[in-house]
Amino acid sequence: MTKSAQQEHATSAKSATGAFNVRSVALLLLAVMVVGLAGVVLTRGRGNAFPAGISEADIAQAQRQFRETFGIDPDYADTLAMLGKLLDKDDRLQIAVSCYEAIPVTHPRFGLAARLQAGVSLGRLNRAAAAENAFREYLDLTAGRRDGVAEGRVTAREWLTYLLSVELRFEERQAIHAASHIEGLADLNDSKQYFFPYLLLYRTTRGASQLREFLWVDPDNPQLQIALGRYLTGEGRPDLAERLLRDLCTRLPGNLRCIAALLECLYEQDDWSEFSPVIADVPDFDSSEPWLLTEMRGQFALQEQRWDDARREFQRLLAVVPTHSACQMGLVTALRHLDDETALHEAEEKSLALARIRVNLPRVKIGHPAEILKFAEQCDQIGLTDAAAVFRSYARQNAESPGRAELQADD
């Protein structure tokens, strides 16, 4: 093709394109107008639609109550928020959750709070996994903020630690408590759980009962199923627990929480012949593995009279949870067979001190600064200096302001 021909072709093409563009733009504008109009209509329709199960009377009541409470006319999200609150009170929790979830996260008044409240309602519905997600979302959204979210973060963490306690997920609970302490939002009970996660009774009847409530709602949740196996073990039904956990571990290959729970079940039955092949397939120690698995490694080493190994395993866990009394006792047993009288004596004394601390923990409560102070001294005696400092802080605050014991950020 010659240069002139090329130019002609280009001009022709340009002309054609120009004609096409004019039509296209017109069509596009029309389409935009149609779509926009439809969008406006649809959006308005969807925005004004309330979750199923809500009556006009509910909406009217919510709008009325909102005006009375806040003195302004509610927008759509405001109405949803007030509806959620009223439905919560009426125990219409599922619809309340739908209301909260329909509130955009960017809503200036209730965007964040709706996440939190949805979590609470889900928790009350015993939808453990969904509630956990909602609380975690709330904590993520409010991370780093200081503008009035502290109370919400405390609440979210209260619920999260509750859910994790019921599900016996202590490693994750510890992380939540750690964050509370860093933010200065921990209270006395948080600190008790944080520093003494294994000295408080954890596999309790209430926990077992609550877990079963969760499972009725979400029966195929593996986290809950693993926890159920552990509760059954603790309740003296290792046979049923073993069947459950074996089946579960088959379905969840490589799930170390499940394997640890199964090992614990076999350990409780003193069934080392079954214990051995299970632990033989467990990967080497990893610092992120479940605490229970490390503990079981230690117990197995004790059973096999590998005293050095037992000491190492228990010390690994004690480095993370220095108040783990079962590990402390395991360490004592191992040291009895190792030629280290000094270490043995120290370990024995610490085990005794932990036993005393455990008994005294219920007495450590708001309104009893002297008990808190005494407790702090007990912590000091076994080298728990961080815990001692925190509890001293509570004692000081409680003495100055009875009824209040929250950890201050500067402590």
Q: Could you say which residues in the range 135-194 bind other proteins, by CB under 8 A? A: 151-152, 155, 158-159, 162, 165-166, 193
* Using rule CB under 8 A, residue 234 touches other proteins: yes
What mask of x and - would describe binding to other proteins in positions 278 to 317, judged by CB under 8 A? ----------------------------------------
Task: State how far the Cα of 346 lies from the Cα of 331, in Å rounded to an integer.
Answer: 11
346 counts as binding other proteins under rule CB under 8 A: no
Distance (Å) of CA 107 to CA 76, 82, 219: 10, 14, 34
Residue choice 360, 380, 381, 386 for contact with other proteins (CB under 8 A): 360
Q: Which stretch binds other proteins (CB under 8 A): 37-45, 232-240, 313-321, 377-385?
A: 232-240
Contact segment (CB under 8 A) with other proteins among 35-43, 179-187, 205-213, 255-263 equals 205-213
Among the residue ranges 39-47, 284-292, 347-355, 400-408, the one whose residues contact other proteins (CB under 8 A): 347-355
Query: By CB under 8 A, is residue 243 in contact with other proteins?
Result: yes
Please state the closest distance from residue 312 (CB atom) to other proteins, in A.
19
- Cβ-based nearer residue to other proteins, 67 or 356: 356
Report the SS3 class of residue 406. strand
Of 77, 93, 335, 395, the one binding other proteins (CB under 8 A) is 93
What's the length of the chain? Answer: 411
> Residue 22 or 352: which CB sits closer to other proteins?
352
Q: Is residue 406 part of the contact set for other proteins (CB under 8 A)?
A: no
The CA-atom distances, in angstroms, between 266 and each of 84, 184, 305 are 47, 41, 18
Lookup result for tokens 């290959």: 253
Q: What are the two backbone dihedrals, phi and then psi, of residue 219, each rounded to the nearest 5 degrees?
A: -70, -20
* Nearest in space to 149 (alpha carbons), one of 194, 113, 179, 174: 113
* Other Cβ atoms closer than 10 A to 89: 9
> Counting runs of H as helices and runs of E as strands, what totals does the chain give?
20, 0
What phi, psi does 355 have (nearest 5°)?
-65, -40
Is residue 205 close enough to count as binding other proteins by CB under 8 A?
yes
Q: Which of 51, 74, 84, 322 binds other proteins (CB under 8 A)?
A: 84
Residues 3-42 that bind other proteins (CB under 8 A): none
Say which DSSP state 364 is in: -
Establish if 354 lies at the interface with other proteins (CB under 8 A).
yes
Question: How far is residue 396's CA from residue 200's CA, in Å, rounded to a whole number?
Answer: 24
We find the least distance from the C-beta atom of residue 263 to other proteins, in angstroms, to be 13
User: With binding defined as CB under 8 A, does residue 251 bind other proteins?
Assistant: yes
- CB–CB of 225/244 below 8 Å? yes
DSSP readout, 187-228? BHHHHHHHH-TTTS--S-HHHHHHHHHHHHH-TT-HHHHHHH
Of 217 and 411, CB closest to other proteins: 217
Rule CB under 8 A: say whether 269 interacts with other proteins: yes
Tokens (6 digits) for 102: 């329909």
Under rule CB under 8 A, residue 73 binds other proteins: no
